[in-house]
Structure 1
């Protein structure tokens, strides 16, 4: 498996990969929640300032992607405020390649990049429906920071915050 920075000409391919990776969660979300998630996925396809996108490639096929926001960037969440830490967002693994270490490798790459940049900590936010991802984050040492959780819509959907000292 090769982890590398995404190329500019892969924007459309990455958008499709992300949507395919998240499609299986549509049935767990209300139509408003799904629309919000689609909007976030599309936003990341534009690679806003301060965002790096990395891909996992197996045999020339992109099987996963993740975005890393530098500290001081606008965070991926609905809060739209500056993050004091680098932030991992929009981890997406193609369904056929789940449980093969792709997500872990992408997260480890983001952690390594943050260490190289002398960052002390890293954060991420994830939907409460992402149970396998939450298990992965906790196994990797991330801790839940309930005080940073938020509800982007007026419903029971919670976005959970996780933090790791590196």
Structure 2
């Protein structure tokens, strides 16, 4: 049983390999339900995204000195899917990953809330993400957090595969 305490922070450049290994390990669960050719392309895209340079934030969850979760946060209109979506006018969350043995501690929720906090701080009115139908646990969490389907942002990266768009309206605190 892992300890319940964890912290969130920006990833350091020297942690990219750790984040890549973690993300690939987490997403490997979908290999069995994807056509082999699609999985090969998907895995390649995961690696290219994780190793890419760009205007996005890498956020990690750390516990006992180890990275146990990560997420990428893209600014508005940054096209995080390489022209698959037209640049949306709100930040986009991508590649949320939490180690299986660390699940159930609220780490995924905390990473999502941190993305929302940063987006709100940057003045965004909404935040979005894309996911696949096979990622049912993630979809349940997103919906619990208030994300709603935005089919106008769906895209199809391959035959028979639809990537589902979700959007969450951010509530801004009113100062008194």
Q: Could you say which TM-score interval applies, normalised by the shorter chain?
A: over 0.9
Shift of 1:78: 5.8
- Do 2:85 and 2:153's aligned partners in 1 also have CA atoms closer than 8 Å? no
Residue 18 of structure 1 corresponds to: 23
Superposition TM-score, scaled by structure 2 size: 0.88
Structure 1 residue matching 2:15: 3-state secondary structure: helix
Shift of 1:77: 6.0
Superposition TM-score, scaled by structure 1 size: 0.93
Shift of 1:30: 0.9
Tell me how far apart the structure 2 counterparts of residues 111 and 42 of structure 1 sit (CA, whole Å): 25
Tell me how far apart the structure 1 counterparts of residues 64 and 82 of structure 2 sit (CA, whole Å): 33
Of 132, 157, 165, 1:161 maps to: 165
**CA RMSD for the aligned pairs?**
1.4
Of 52, 59, 70, 2:75 maps to: 70
Higher-Rg structure is: 2
Q: Could you give the per-residue CA deviations for residues 115-137 of structure 1, whole angstroms, max 9, x where no partner exists? A: 11111000000011100000000
- Do 1:3 and 1:57's aligned partners in 2 also have CA atoms closer than 8 Å? yes
Aligned length: 165
Unaligned runs of 5+ in 2: 1-5, 171-176
Tell me how far apart the structure 2 counterparts of residues 82 and 147 of structure 1 sit (CA, whole Å): 12
Tell me how far apart the structure 2 counterparts of residues 42 and 20 of structure 1 sit (CA, whole Å): 12
Unaligned runs of 5+ in 1: none
